[in-house]
Amino acid sequence: MAARPSITIVVDPRFRGGTSSAVATEIGVLATRADLRVVALSSRMFSGDEAHPAIQSICEHHGISIEWDPPIISNSVVVIHNPSFIKFDDHFPAKIIADQIFVVCHENFLRPGGAEGFAVQHCLDQIRDATLCRNRQLAPISPWNRKTVTKWIENHGGFSGWTITELDWTNICAFDLVAPTSAPQDRRGRLSRPGPEKFPSMEILHLLYPRTCDAVRILGGDSLLAEKTPDAWDLIPFGGEDVDAFLATIDFFVYFTNPLWRESFGRVIGEAIAAGKLVVTDPETATIFGPGVIGTTPDQVSAVIAEHIDNPDLYVERVRTAQSDLARFAPEAFAERLAKMIGTPIPPLKRAPTKKEELDVFV
Amino acid sequence: MYLCETGQETDDAIDTLAIFVSQARALGVPIAVHRKSLPEKIDVGRRYDLAPFVTDISPDQVEGLFVIGEGATSDLGLRRIQRLTEGQPLPTTLFGTFENEQCRLNAAARLSYALGRDPIVREIAEIPGLKEMPAPLFGSPVIKQPGQKPRISFIMPDPKQPGVIGALRALATCRTLDVSVIAKGSSKSELIKLLGGSIPIWHLSELLPRSFASRIDIAILCDAPLRWYRLNALFANCVANQTIMVDATDQQSWSVLPDGIIPASLDGHSLLVWLQQEILPTRADIAAATAKSKLNAAMRPPVELTQAASKPSPLIGSTEQRRDNAGQLVFMPTNGVGLGHAKRCSLVARELEEPKRAVFAAFPSCLQMINNSGFDAMPLVSKSEHRTTHANDLVNHTRLNTLCDGASGLVFDGGYVFDSIVRSAVDNNLPAVWIRRGLWQAAQNNSVAEDRQKIFRRIVVPAEAFDELNHAAPHAENAVEVGPILQHLDLGPDAANNLRKAVFAEVGQTRQRLVVTMLGGGVAADRRAQINTICAHLGGRPDVLNLLVIWPTAITDPAWFTHENTAVVQTYHASTLIAAADLLVSAAGYNSFHEALYGAVPTIFIPQMASYMDDQRARARSASERELSILVEPWETLKLGKAIDECLEGRTNDLRQKLRSTNLPPTGNGAAARAIEEVCR
């Protein structure tokens, strides 16, 4: 029997968002197939001493004790999730000795327009200075994320001491699939955290959700509650409704972020696809999920939706295409890619995790 | 035009915004604050600071946006900016102090989400020794009117600190120095208690820093540097305008700044001697050295502002003083209970050597009267019960400020010195004169008046006709008393008779005698009962025409129009009618009282009293005790009828004769004009 890979996941688990959910899923997938350690580092970015409930719960489920702030981390493979968590620190909070170190780039290095997404050099320099290893790699999580990483390195005239993984370290999507409706209506919606980066301007929102819609529902629309918005817009505060229930009330997931910010992966889109919704978003984000997700500009959204309402078969076909493309992000696909990256086979799961075991982004 | 926005909503942030914009505007930057940038609740003082700079311009007319403030823009701030820009990606410069690169990136990113483009980020230059600033600190040019005496200002003295009160007293008693205090927090009221009215004491928030700086030749810094942009802007303005900066703090806290600050001790006697022997004789040399100091160099504006200053906007007037206002004397009477203040101002303005210098800013009820007197008047806005207390005065502040820009003086006549008066006079560095009639009631709260008299170069006090009424309150060293100011119309028997006939003809009634009833505007007290009594009583005298004179803003009673021999008139010519009256029934306001007295018009005075008014009862009593007129209290309606009968049955002749034989002081209209001209050249 081949040896199980020995992996340590390093994260500041106090982050209340999609990154923690993605890491929790990853822990769930690797827990039974690798000798897994989970190390929590307390950075200045967050306060408190409570891990994200999803990470806490999956670790408890698999009997993994989270090690908080060890001075030295040593393992053959160390995976540091989201290097930006140390962006406010002066020093990396631990020393790491490993054969291979993967730094999973959950945040884009550059924003659309070219501005830096976070203090990349500051973070990577801290990691480089704190690590002793044979191979130190940056692991982008999507094609768009990869573009920002390579462009950033290009802007800096190279970056010694680092390589970039050939494969993406994608989020794991193991959602139960819901069949799409065969009679789509113009019921549009979106969900996200309420931050300003997640929303385009009001002018664009009016293009995306015009008064002609049968229904508009925005979960996480906290910042819009203070604005003058059409009465037909149903604005729900973040966490104000169960995600499954929310997605069941719409047919089109119309998701555009602020033009000067972009999702590095877009886990929420994966959820909407799994729930049987046709996703309409910007072309770059759409690329991550394949041809089943429609990439377009805000002014074309209504035409796209009208086309699919007029042609329900096309709607169903698109959603099913998107759902089948989600397989690329399934646990087994992830394990295969990981095995290639670390050069060690990863044993298959005895069974796929059910939806109930999967941890929601919005826990 | 450029807009400025602070990414925050705190009082401090709004304070900084107001000061930054005022500083930049003084540099010549065509900068304003969009009304959408302002929260609904703003401290009253900040409203006055901001009023001249607020705009509701469309974003397509905006050249760029400056964002200031501490740290990253708040969520509310981002939404404001989104509303403000209406989707126009305005070129934006973010001024900030960032703890590290990540904070800088965060601030820029957050702002970009609202702007739709990435801002240029500028780190605020640190000035060693000063606290971190929420906006770039720079000195703005101010126009310093040369003072007759060196103007020394104690900045932020702590009344509890040993030696402070002694130093202030020592300098305040020196006749060769003009001493003032700029305080913070509750220190102002504590200092007023300790020092009385011997020194003008300001709170730093009362005026803009550039207005303060124009009034200081030597600044005595009494407290350590604070993280208060307003204070630091005052400091910067002083440095940039060659004010001599003296560090009198215990720890010499300001002396760690680059050269340009002179250390000293806050010991009263030695400070005075040191100033007189070491500093004052070399003022010009020290000022020249300050101009060349590293400190002054550190107070230069950021390049983005100097660039913006080179692009004037037609939407904002030039920062150079308005030439078309040159030499102009701005008269601003309040409307009070009647039209007395406006009337007095017009009488004084007529006596100016060049009456054309006079231009008025007046409330609507006074405009016609002022125009009839031959003067132009800019309308002010009256108080509205539908708006906050200060809303009208904010509008008046902007109007008056425009009228005062480049003028040679501001003359105010009224009881309550509005913020608009204080700011317009000081912001424009104008010599201000207060025509302040006396006879203030003993129980009256004069604290605001006492405090604000510090802005006036001179206080002209029109005397009362009788000596016992002439007790000027509150006391003021710069008060000048002049004779009663009034329109003196003594028509003589023939002219009066002709005028009476003309009045009878005008109202279409043939009568023999004219009674003029004029009981006030009805603002202080309801006089309908007394008027009805008079009308009814005179109804039994067919030989009498009762001419009921009402103010333009007075409340009228339909019953007044039912009496056959009563005619209700609304007129600006009350003085002429008084002169023609056989009997006057009047309130005892300053103007009507003196017009009746000097015109020898037999009068029954019914005083109108309110806590905020002058003491009409005392005035009426003085005349009745001399048997020059009759005093009837408002509640004495039976006595009123009896007094009217007595008068019409012969007593008017006695009163008129007595009035004519009484020596009254000469009128002071001309003297008041000369007193004003002396300080407003």
Residue B260 has what pLDDT? 81
- Beta bridge pairs of residue A10: A39, A80
State chain B's maximal CA–CA distance in angstroms.
95
Q: What is the mean pLDDT of residues A318-337?
A: 95
Is B100 near chain A, with CB under 8 Å?
yes
When CB atoms are compared, the residue of A117, A227, A261 closest to B113 is A261
Is A228 near chain B, with CB under 8 Å?
no
Neighbours of A64 (CB within 10 A): 17
Residue B375 has what pLDDT? 96
ipTM over 0.85: yes
Give residue-wise pLDDT tens across range A167-210.
999 999 988 999 999 999 999 999 999 999 999 999 999 999 99
* Phi, psi values for residue B353, rounded to 5°: -60, -35
* Under 8 Å between Cβ of B447 and B467: no
Query: Do the bridges between strand B358-362 and strand B377-379 make them parallel or antiparallel, or are there none, so unpaired?
Result: parallel
DSSP state of A295: E
* Under 8 Å between Cβ of B479 and B461: yes
% of chain A surpassing 70 pLDDT = 95
Under the banding of pLDDT at 50, 70 and 90, the label for residue A165 is: very high
Alpha carbon of B169: minimum distance to chain A alpha carbons (Å): 53
DSSP state of B276: I
* Nearest of B192, B199, B213 to residue B477 by alpha carbon: B199
The residue length of chain A stands at: 363
When CB atoms are compared, the residue of B101, B102, B116 closest to A259 is B116
Q: Which residue has the higher pLDDT, A217 or A363?
A: A217
Query: Do the bridges between strand A131-140 and strand A95-105 make them parallel or antiparallel, or are there none, so unpaired?
Result: parallel
Q: How many H-runs (helices) and E-runs (strands) does chain A carry? A: 11, 13
Measured distance CA(B358)–CA(B362) in Å, rounded: 12
Alpha carbon of B102: minimum distance to chain A alpha carbons (Å): 5
Q: What is the mean pLDDT of residues A286-295?
A: 96
Strand residue runs (E) in B285-444 = 329-333, 358-362, 377-379, 409-413, 432-435
* Under 8 Å between Cβ of A363 and A327: no
Residue B320 has what pLDDT? 59
Residue A354 has what pLDDT? 53
Is B60 near chain A, with CB under 8 Å?
no
**Yes or no, beta carbons of A118 and B114 under 8 Å apart:** no
Residue B54 has what pLDDT? 94
Is B120 near chain A, with CB under 8 Å?
no
Is A193 near chain B, with CB under 8 Å?
no
Residue A81 has what pLDDT? 96
Is B102 near chain A, with CB under 8 Å?
yes
Q: What residues of chain A lie within 8 A of the CB of B100, using their CB?
A: 88, 119, 122
Is B101 near chain A, with CB under 8 Å?
yes
Q: How many H-runs (helices) and E-runs (strands) does chain B carry? A: 25, 25
Mean pLDDT of the residues in chain A: 92
Residue of B nearest to A259 (CA): B116
Residue A225 has what pLDDT? 86
**Rg (alpha carbons) of chain B, rounded to whole number:** 30
Given a cut of 70, whether residue A363 has pLDDT beyond it is no
Alpha carbon of A225: minimum distance to chain B alpha carbons (Å): 11
* Phi, psi values for residue B577, rounded to 5°: -65, -35
**Yes or no, beta carbons of A196 and B75 under 8 Å apart:** yes
Interfacial A residues in 286-315 facing B (CB < 8 Å) = none
Give pLDDT < 50 ranges for chain B.
none
Measured distance CA(B222)–CA(B266) in Å, rounded: 8
**Yes or no, beta carbons of B102 and A87 under 8 Å apart:** yes
Residue A362 has what pLDDT? 33
Q: What residues of chain A lie within 8 A of the CB of B111, using their CB?
A: none
Is A74 near chain B, with CB under 8 Å?
no
Q: What is the mean pLDDT of residues A15-37?
A: 90
